Structure 1
Amino acid sequence: MACSKVFSGKLPEITDDIVQYFRNDYKTLHSCVLVNRAWCRITIPLLWKEPFSIPVKNYHFIEIYLHNLNEYDKTKLNVCGINNKIFPSKTLFNYPSFIQRINTFKIEQSIEKWITSIGVLKDMTTIVKTLIYKLLFKIFINNEVNLRTFEILITTDQDHRNFNEIFELILQKPNFICNIRNFKLQRITNVRKILQFLEFISLKCNSISSINFQFQKFNDENNLLVKKFLSIFEQLNNLESIHIIYCRLLNYEIIQQIINLTKPFKLKSLFMDEILQIDSLELLLQKSGDYLENFGFGSFSNDSYIRNELINELKQQLIDLIIKYCTKIELFDLFECNINNIYPKIFNLIQNIDQNLYYLSIDFDDDDEILSTNLLLNLGQILPLKLEYLNLSFIIQNINDFEIFLKNSHNTFIKKLLIRNKISKRKIKDILPYIKKYIMKEKRVEYLAIKDSYLEYDLREVKDFRLYNIELRNYDNLYIQAVNYVKEMY
């Protein structure tokens, strides 16, 4: 009876919870749309909250958006060779009103693929792309959408010109961004051209609670951007999290400005791919280390310019600082880090944060057998009692080492376990019996993904694992990138 009420829509709260559970499973959401009208009304807003970020085979959703244009704007498109007949005559929902996340780069990408699919002449591509970009924002702004996330990525002069036109529209109706909670800046090539927009953000968007910096080049332009943003930082009264993701701007001058801020600098994420000045980094962690929840590093981009001994020493000092100042880490991502003698400190760090650690990823870049053996013999016994996610990407050369790891970690329940066996003579068929014995039969995981350098698990194994309520999944689909984790959680 209760089940029939759910599917009929008579228990809206429960129905909403069910649909929300699948909010990132777009295939299932499309199936939910077909259940009945009640389920459709709940599901459609989820499918349309960020359509430019959803992998699709075609981009017909842009045509549905453009249906909302007035006749004057449709005529502009018609002049550019876009026939109005491709737009739907009517729609069931006001789809533009559902959008919550906008990424300027992904919108441009989607437009480019759509105009290619409908056969726009090559010499008209730039003009049409610019026009549609502006018209889409005009539609969103006029629909008074409840925008929650605004991500700006500008890589070309044309991108800057397009963004300036959008800024003019926003100035006319600033409510469009006044309620954003998440603000992301990435790869801005000409910072001076968006300084006015940053000033505007600081005055109109006091609701911002999360800021994400992602700049992969150190230059005067990016340095200026961070300085400018720090100068208006004090005006953002609701800022709860700051995320620095592979950002190479943390020089002494920038960190000193952060230290001098009167407000707390709530650094929640720090992912590094470049060696920083350890003294400066310690100052940053002294101020913000107690807020840090997500941390990761790997092979630094400037390794080749530094002697191996110095690299080793700097990485050990980095781990020491994290152990000393950061006790609340929930996600630890160790990527392509192949220096054996830092692993005792890595193990110390894992033990130090085991009360908070829920996501752990360790990925080796090459086929270092000693490194893999070191990990298998020492990691299992120090894992927390419960993990949401464990990813191990290495080589399994000695099957006895792998069995020791499984035995030592027998007290740990792992919701999602991913094992990627890199270049090795050991195949899935060699390690699967041990996984069945120590993982499957003890029901220690909910989701399992296994992959080697040649193939994944045989699909005939799926039924065996399902008998123990364990779902076998594709490794790449279950893998969590740190950037996407931050995007989803904040």
Structure 2
Amino acid sequence: MDKNLFPSNTLFKYSSFIKHLNIYKISKSIEDWDRTLATKNFRKSNFTKLICRSLIQLFIENVVNLHSLHVSYGSFDDIFELILQNSNFIGNIKNFKLGHLEMSVSTIKLLTFLSSNCNSISSLSYQCYNNYEHQQMMGLSQIIKSQKNLRKILFRSPLNQSLLSLKNSNCSNTLNTIIFDDIEFKNIIILNEVFNQLNVLESIHIIL
């Protein structure tokens, strides 16, 4: 990475204070910024990827423990590969938000890593508006099953597979809050069966 791309006297020297990473918003902000430039020395996609990857590299080099990770809306193979090469960066995240992603080898590897190597997630949000990729749903289910400290979960997605993952999961003694956001409950018959296995469940919220 070109060290002159972000000089040491810029605000990025304070990246050690960055605890919340939303990859989509970073990418979108860079794209918007690119549109304001008078000259176009790069193709937009290449420019965005270069700057975004450079930022993530800076964060990886300076952030000791990332607290929150939000991945959604698009394809971020280069960034996922970079993160997975420095897996300590996300190894202890507490909040994870997952939305629409183009499924690829890198996306599957990221979800697999989180389910196998990160059991520190206490708040999980999954927002998908239709029957999206089966592999993504399976990846989410494996993440849910692996968590030992999960306290809050938000669903905005087809429910059956996600709810089934709560049965006999490691979070049965920690999960106390479930939020259903714009969920169609028709034909869902496993609610009681799942809720009866959640020993410390305190509140259920339904957002219409």
What TM-score comes out, normalization by structure 2 length?
0.81
Which 4+ stretches in 1 moved above 4 angstroms?
Answer: none
> What residue identity is the alignment partner of 2:19?
Q
**Within 1, Cα distance between the matches of 2:96 and 2:65?**
14
Q: Who is 2:43 aligned against?
A: 124
Q: Superposed, which structure 2 residues align to 1:73-472 within 5 Å? A: 74=5, 90-91=9-10, 94-121=13-40, 124-155=43-74, 160=75, 163-190=76-103, 193-219=106-132, 221=133, 223-244=134-155, 246-247=156-157, 249-251=158-160, 253-261=161-169, 263-264=171-172, 266=175, 267-288=177-198, 291-293=201-203, 295-298=205-208
- Rounded to whole Å, the distance in 2 between the matches of 1:237 and 1:285 is 17
Shift of 1:289: 8.9
Deviations for 1:99-119, whole angstroms, at most 9, x for unmatched residues?
Answer: 111111101111011122233
How far residue 269 of structure 1 moved from its aligned partner, in angstroms, is 1.9
Contact 2:108/2:135 (<8 A) preserved: no
In terms of Rg, which structure is larger? Answer: 1
Structure-2 separation of matches of 1:282 and 1:183: 26
CA 1:129/1:164 → structure 2, altered by over 3 Å: closer, same or farther? same
> Aligned partner of 1:239: which letter?
L
Indicate if the aligned counterparts of 2:180 and 2:206 stay in contact, CA closer than 8 A: yes
> TM-score, normalized by length of structure 1?
0.38
Higher fraction of helix: 1
Q: Give the drift of 1:229.
A: 3.0
Count of aligned pairs: 206
Conserved in 2, the CA contact under 8 Å of 1:98 and 1:145? no
Question: Is contact 1:174–1:204 with CA below 8 Å preserved after alignment?
Answer: no
Which letter maps to 2:193? L
Shift of 1:134: 0.7
For structure 2, the 5+ residue unaligned runs are none
Q: Shift in Å at residue 241 of structure 1? A: 2.3
- Paired letter, 2:138: K
Q: Distance in 1 between matches of 2:89 and 2:60?
A: 6
Equivalent residue letter for 1:250: L
Give the drift of 1:187. 1.2
Unaligned runs of at least 5 residues, structure 1 = 1-67, 75-86, 299-490
**Which amino acid in 1 is paired with 2:147?**
L
For the structure 1 residues 226 and 278, does the alpha-carbon distance in structure 2 shift closer, same or farther, using more than 3 Å as the test?
closer
Q: In 2 relative to 1, CA 145–89 (structure 1 residues): closer, same or farther, beyond 3 Å? A: closer
Q: Secondary structure at the match of 1:119?
A: coil
CA change 1:291–1:119 in 2 (3 A) is farther
* Letter matched to residue 183 of structure 1: F
- Residues in 1 aligned to 2:56 and 2:96: alpha-carbon distance in whole angstroms: 17
Contact 2:19 2:63 survives alignment (8 Å): no
Instruction: Considering Cα pairs closer than 8 Å and 6+ residues apart, tell me whether 1 or 2 has the greater RCO.
Output: 2
Say if 1:144 and 1:175, in contact at 8 Å, map to a contact too: no
